[in-house]
Chain A
Amino acid sequence: MCLAIPGQIVAFDAQQPMLAKVDVAGVKRNINIALLEDQEVALGDWVLIHVGFAMSKIGEAEAVEQLRMLRALGEDELAMEEVRGYTFAPEGASVRAGLG
């Protein structure tokens, strides 16, 4: 729950500006980016993800370091399990369900 997981933004959803698709070590999921509403967020940006929400933007070097850190703490599998577990905005279905 207290894990902060680094991910790279790879897509936006024009119909749901609160969502962005991130890539976390090859796993892609939609996350909520409402907490970054007062910052510019662009494709390719790295963010720290916490329980499905992007908490802050981070530099690429920092993101790589955070991933390494998760491995060093033995929490990388937990982090991937968490990212795979975000089901609130599945691709395609999210628009119909009106989720964000």
Chain B
Amino acid sequence: MKYVDEFRDPALVGAVAHEIARAADPQRHYRIMEVCGGHTHAIYRHGLKDVLPPNIELVHGPGCPVCVLPMGRVDDGLSIVDNSDVIMTAFGDMMRVPGTKGTPLEYKARGADVRMVYSPLDALRIAQANPSRHVYFFAIGFETTAPSTALTLMRAKALGVRNFSVFCNHVTIVPAIRAILDSPDMRLDGFVGPGHVSTVIGCRPYEFIAHNYRKPVVVSGFEPLDILESVLMILHQLAAGESKVENQYRRIVPWEGNLPALKAMTEVFELRPYFEWRGLGFISQSALRLSTAYASFDSEVQFEVPGVRVTDPKAAQCGEVLKGVLKPVQCKLFGKECNPEHPIGALMVSSEGACAAYYRYVHHGEPVSA
């Protein structure tokens, strides 16, 4: 328990760990997926694996927005900045994600006008400050960030801003979970549900997992104690032969979600018939695009986007890691060709990517022996 001194209440953590050990059937191997990349980061950061009995395996899920974005979409998004008088804006997480011809930062170094923003509203402000140029926002994220993009577009429309658009890559978490549940190589016993996504969508959208797939789901906070408590709640359900959706993060997550956020999303977005996810392939109705009412703000309508598909470097096994089939260290490139300084796959870029977190907190940047 390397990081135990940082826990808010080490005694309580110890007590919950003890409860987990008691609740777990020693004859059984448990595979529990934490869907959210924030949880993945916290699990590695706090060394929670060391607190859990060896027969409880935490499997990392697809909840890292830059990790699931296929390289073809990165290329598509970057192709827009090749037009003259265009400014690309994006969150910092996006800036080091490699496309075929480099990362957004490398485009910037080669002279493209690429700017990092901390809020989509900042991107809109840049558009207002540069009326003679077109400004687009390379939008990524699950339901946590989609409402902010929606409200920004509503604002742009209300203000009559004409030189602003969004290259929309917002994805929705539920179809990805369903794809994982339907995947033949995936055997899971339960889910630690995402915390911040659930502040927006609430807990109800997970009910199909409990009802149709008979797997427990516990929406969880991000503290070590939250995550351990959620694991314990899952074990209790499994021991009782139950499968239901529970909300461990009640202090933040309302069961029904955030209604103004859902309303804004409904106003601005519509579901894409399908969308490609890195590692998971094409998943139907798993991503958002701008509705026809917002077509004039849609980068894909305003610009020719090539719609390229790029296969990941063969040796990189991002897909398998993303689905939880492989551990980061089991990828052939992990810590060798692919490291945080020179990421080949997006999972090594984002701090929420399983590979970056594993490299930093478990592997400690040591060379990987062949």
Contact = CB atoms under 8 A, between A and B. Distances in A.
A77 interface: no
B140 A99 contact: no
B25 to A, nearest CB: 32
A38 B261 CA distance: 11
B255 interface: no
Interface in B81-137: 91-94, 117-122, 124-125, 128
B145 interface: yes
A14 to B, nearest CB: 19
Contact of B122 (A1, A2, A35, A85): A85
Given A48-B252, A53-B148, A69 B222 contact: yes
B370 interface: no
Interface string B24-64: 00000000000001100110011000000000000000000
B65 A1 contact: yes
Given A50-B144, A58-B252, A2 B196 contact: yes
Interface string B240-284: 000000000001101000111100100000000000000000000
A2 B352 contact: yes
Interface residues of A, number: 38
Interface in A35-59: 35-38, 48, 50-53, 55-56, 58-59
B182 interface: no
Interface in A1-19: 1-2, 4
B8 A32 contact: no
B260 A62 contact: no
Q: Which of B6, B42, B119 is most buried by chain A, counting CB atoms within 10 A of its CB? A: B119
Contact of B148 (A52, A69, A83, A98): A52
